[in-house]
């Protein structure tokens, strides 16, 4: 993982069991479930095969999207070890209350062995933070949390996502290097915060916000990306800046015209394995 910011990133092969539809309108039915394997040096044997589900950008409104029933059924039939959510539970920045019953319905229906951990996004607002905890979710905004699994450690670092300027760089610098035998995961709503926090050197950097562009000329070529990273990093899984960057296209729509074109909603599943020694 020697690629530095400013250099070309390496795209990581992702298994897509089913391509999503070219057009999604008003519902995320047919969303993609994309999987890849994350090799980690010195991974403790207890974390071999750990399954992590990455969700982002629901942009929930005042109705239930029946496309989410398929997500619930899939997770309940084969629960992951860990679920990480990288912001934008709701769409409305002015009044999130009509969406809350639907967000609660989804998030309380997704089981996992180690729990669900989340940060807020720029649509959520700071006031939503207290509600998130009532959904059996642990908020990790501006927090560092260590989970224990059979004696091994999974470290989660949550960057604030309501505003980019909320990031406290003194706090980031104070975290220090990853401890041996630890899987380090950073949750960030904004992909380009990777450039400011590269000293954390996480094994994987989970992010969203861009929706993959939501409307693309063709796959992976967005019209708008709302981010400072290069256009080709608007979605997908890449080795970049010494880490594995995962930019989730999200499970919602970020405009009044609830349309996705050449950019289907997605869930990302990560399986962790020990990196082979050369």
DSSP label of 225: -
Calculate the average pLDDT of the chain: 92
- 4 pLDDT above the threshold of 70: no
pLDDT per residue as tens digits for the range 164-200: 889 999 999 999 999 988 999 999 999 999 999 999 9
pLDDT per residue as tens digits for the range 123-142: 998 888 889 989 989 999 99
Which CATH homologous superfamily contains domain 10-223+237-274?
Answer: Metallo-dependent phosphatases (3.60.21.10)
What is the reported pTM?
A: 0.94
Could you tell me the sign of the dihedral formed by the alpha carbons of 83, 201, 196, 263, in that order? negative
Tokens 């009509």 sit at which residue?
A: 98
From the list 207, 264, 271, the residue with the least C-alpha distance to 36 is: 271
* Band of pLDDT at residue 207, cut at 50, 70 and 90: very high
Q: How many other C-beta atoms lie within 10 A of the C-beta of residue 37?
A: 13
CA 35 to chain centre: 13
Most confident region among 43-47, 76-80, 95-99 by mean pLDDT = 76-80
Q: What ranges do the domains of the chain cover?
A: 10-223+237-274
CA atoms of 155 and 112, how far apart (whole Å): 17
| Three-state DSSP class for residue 123 | coil
| Helix or strand holding residue 129 (H, E) | helix 129-132
């Amino acid at each position: 993982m020697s690629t530095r910011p400013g250099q070309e990133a390496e795209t990581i092969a992702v298994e897509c069991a089913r391509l999503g539809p070219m057009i999604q309108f008003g519902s995320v039915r047919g969303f993609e479930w994309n999987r890849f394997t994350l090799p980690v040096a010195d991974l403790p044997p207890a974390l071999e095969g750990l399954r992590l589900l990455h969700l982002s950008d629901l942009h929930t409104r005042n109705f239930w999207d029946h496309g989410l029933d398929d997500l619930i059924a899939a997770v309940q039939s084969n629960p992951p070890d860990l679920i990480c959510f990288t912001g934008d539970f709701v769409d409305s920045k002015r009044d999130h209350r009509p969406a809350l019953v639907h967000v609660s319905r989804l998030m309380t229906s997704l089981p996992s062995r180690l729990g669900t951990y989340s940060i807020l996004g720029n649509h959520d607002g700071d006031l939503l933070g207290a509600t998130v905890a009532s959904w059996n979710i642990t908020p990790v905004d501006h927090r560092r949390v260590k989970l224990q699994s059979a004696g091994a450690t999974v470290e989660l670092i949550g960057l604030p996502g309501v505003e980019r300027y909320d990031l406290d760089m003194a706090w980031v610098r104070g975290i220090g290097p990853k401890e041996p035998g630890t899987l380090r995961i950073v949750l960030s709503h904004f992909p380009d915060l990777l450039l400011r926090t590269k000293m954390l050197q996480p094994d994987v950097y989970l992010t969203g916000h861009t929706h993959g562009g939501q409307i693309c000329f063709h796959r992976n070529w967005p019209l708008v990306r709302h981010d400072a990273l290069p256009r080709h990093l608007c979605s997908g899984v890449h080795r970049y800046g010494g880490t594995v960057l995962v930019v989730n296209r999200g499970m919602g729509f970020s405009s009044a015209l609830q349309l996705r074109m050449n950019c289907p909603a997605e869930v990302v599943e990560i399986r962790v394995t020990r990196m082979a020694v050369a």
